[in-house]
């Protein structure tokens, strides 16, 4: 009599010990994380809008919170999150046209989107401070 399928040794599916971690994998994970973090950013934006619709004191308090060093750090992180997620979406749109799907091209696109998200975030903040006259 043969062994039942429940007791027979079954092959394991490939897992992390099989695959080499690539930039495209890292950016895919980061794209999902930044998408979730943007929910937090929308909450902060809603708080700011609600404060603007209420009293002057409430708006000044919320602006003071966002203007503190911790608030600016959070807003800087949210700026990077938004830009990184947007560039990841553009990368996916390019892939939808069946371009850049080879391993080396996907890795290059992932690295470039990571670098571009940092550069664009810094550029947005430098331009923001320049327009505000704080530079």
pLDDT digits (tens, 9 = 90+) for 57-102: 999 999 999 999 999 999 999 999 999 999 999 999 999 999 998 9
What CATH class has 23-132? mainly alpha
Question: Strand runs (DSSP E) across 1-91, as ranges?
Answer: none
Domain definitions of the chain by residue range: 23-132
Chain mean pLDDT for the chain: 91
pTM exceeds 0.85 = no
pLDDT score of 19: 75
Pair of tokens at residue 16 = 């992390």
Which position has the token pair 């505000």?
132
Report the distance separating Cα 8 and Cα 24, nearest Å: 36
């Amino acid at each position: 009599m043969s062994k039942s399928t429940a007791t027979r040794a079954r092959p394991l599916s490939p897992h992390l010990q099989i695959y080499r971690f690539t930039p495209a994998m890292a950016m895919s994970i980061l794209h999902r994380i930044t998408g979730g973090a943007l929910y937090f950013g929308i909450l902060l934006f809603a708080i700011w809008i609600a404060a603007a619709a209420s009293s002057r004191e409430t708006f000044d308090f919320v602006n003071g919170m966002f203007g503190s060093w911790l608030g600016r750090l959070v807003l800087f992180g949210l700026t990077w999150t938004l830009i990184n997620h947007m560039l990841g979406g553009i990368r996916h749109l390019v892939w939808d046209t069946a371009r850049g799907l080879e391993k080396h091209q996907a890795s290059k696109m992932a690295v470039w989107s990571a670098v571009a998200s940092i550069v664009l975030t810094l550029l947005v903040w430098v331009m923001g401070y320049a327009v505000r006259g704080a530079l």
